[in-house]
Amino acid sequence: MSIPTVSRALTPEQLDRRGVASHEVYTAGFYADPDRDFQVRTILGKSTRCGSDVGEVLALIAGIGVDDGEGWFTAWRDLGRRITQIGDAASAAGHRVSAARAYLRAANYLGVAYNSIDGRADTDALLPTFREHRVAWDGFVADTRWPVERVDIPYEGGSMPGWFFRPDASDAPRRTLVVNGGSDGSISGVWCEAGEAALERGYNALLFDGPGQQSMLFERDIPFRADWEKVITPVVDFLTRRGDVDVAKLGLYGVSQGGYWVSRAICFEHRFAGAIADGGVVDVGRTWSAKIPAELMALYNSGDKKQFDEIMSAAMAAPTAGAARGTWAFRSRPYGAQGYSAVLDEVMKFDLTSYAHRISTPLYVIDPDGEQFFTDQPADLAAMAAGATRVRFTQEEGASWHCQPLARELTEQRMFDWLDERMGE
C-alpha cells in the first residue's frame, strides 16, 4: 500500500493571526497576551489530574476574540455551569466517578471565570461566580473516592476552612502534607497540583483557605498577611491533635506566591520534616516595583507618596489603561489596602531577606526556565536557605514558565520523590 504524499506547505488555517505555525504553540503561546496565555497553560496542565479536558479548553478559546474580556468571562462561566450540570446528572444517577470528575473540571473552569472578573465593566459577578465554583467543589468532595472531612482550623478567634483527605479509611497515623495555595489559585486547582498526588503516595492531605485566599477574602474580607507563620502554626497545632497524623512526618507544599508563604513560615515553624516551594519567592515587592516606571518608584521610595498616588491615579484613568486597571484591581484586592501607595506599603512587607537565615527545615526550591513573575528569585531563595535543594526545570523538558504549568506530571514526580526520601514510609 502506498503512503499518500503530504504537502509541507501550511494552509492559512494552520497559521494564527500572528503567523505562528500551529505546532509551535508551546513556545509561541496560545495568546500574545502573556496573562491570558498563562491562564490557558495552567488550566490545560490540570488535565493530568482530571481537572480539565483538553478538547473543552481548546474549543472554548477558539471562539473567544483576543481582546474580548467579557466573552472570556462568559465562556468560562458557561462551560463551568454546563459541566456542573453533567456532574449533577451523574451524581443523581449514582455514577460517582463520573460526577466527581465533572465537578472537578467545572470547579476549575469557574475558577478561571471569577479570576477574570476585573477584565469586565461589571465586577458584581465575582462573589456569585465564586460561590458557583464552591458548589462544584462541594460536589466533587461529596462524590470523590477519597475519604474526606470538611474541617475548621482554629485561627485568631475564628477559623479557616479546610478539607482533610486520607488515602484510605484507616485511622492509623501517617505522614501528612499541608497544601498551601498561592495568591489567586482555587482550592480545586491546588488539589490538582499536589493534593491527589499526595494521597496516591500514602499521605494525608490538608487543603485550606488562608487569609486573603478564596473564601477568606471573598466571603470574610480577611486580607493577606506577610507573617505567614501565624497561619501555618495554627494549622500544625490542629494536625497534632489528630490521631491519624504522624506529627514527625509533616510536609508543607506552597505553589506560586505560596512559595513565599511556606518559606516565611518555616523561618519560625520548625515542625515540618520537609517543605516545597513551587517556585521560590523571596521578595514579592520586587515583582511589583519592576512593573512600575522607575521615576514613579523613585517618588514612592523617597516618601512622596501623595504625588505618587496622584500620578498613578491619572495614569490609570487614561482610556488606554483598561487592562492595567483590571490587573491592579485583581492583584491588589487581597492586600486589603486602598490607594496605590498603601497597597505597595503592604506588598513590600512580603520580603524574606531578613528572615531566610532562620530556615532549618529541608527545602525543595523549584526553578523553571522563563519564570515570568518572580524572575531569579528561586535561585536567590536557595542561596539564602541553608541546605536548600534547588532543582531546575527546563523548556526542553516542556517545563518552562511559572510553576511549569504544562509539566505537572514531571513536577509531582520530582518533588514527591524528594519528599518521600526525607519522610520514609
- pLDDT for 19 beyond 70: no
**How many Å separate Cα 242 from the centre of its chain?**
27
> How many Å is the maximal CA-CA distance in the chain?
78
Indicate the fold that domain 146-283+350-423 takes in CATH: Rossmann fold (3.40.50)
Looking at residue 119, what is its pLDDT? 64
CATH architecture of 13-134: Up-down Bundle (1.20)
CA angle 227, 232, 235 (to 5 degrees): 150
Contact assessment for residue 402 and residue 279, using Cβ atoms and an 8 Å cutoff: yes
pLDDT single digits (tens) 119-154: 666 789 999 999 999 999 999 999 999 999 999 999
Contact assessment for residue 114 and residue 124, using Cβ atoms and an 8 Å cutoff: no
Looking at residue 151, what is its pLDDT? 98
DSSP track, 285-319: HHHHHHTS-HHHHHHHHHT-HHHHHHHHHHHHHSG
- pTM here is 0.93
**Could you give phi then psi for residue 82, rounded to 5 degrees?**
-65, -40
pLDDT single digits (tens) 163-215: 999 999 999 999 999 999 999 999 999 999 999 999 999 999 999 999 999 99
* Measured torsion, CA atoms of residues 105, 134, 184, 354, in degrees rounded to the nearest 10: -120
Integer Cα distance of 195 and 179 in angstroms: 7
The domain limits of the chain are 13-134, 146-283+350-423, 286-347
Say if 13-134 and 146-283+350-423 have the same CATH topology: no
Q: Which of 286, 285, 275 is nearest to 366 (CA)?
A: 275
Contact assessment for residue 401 and residue 372, using Cβ atoms and an 8 Å cutoff: yes
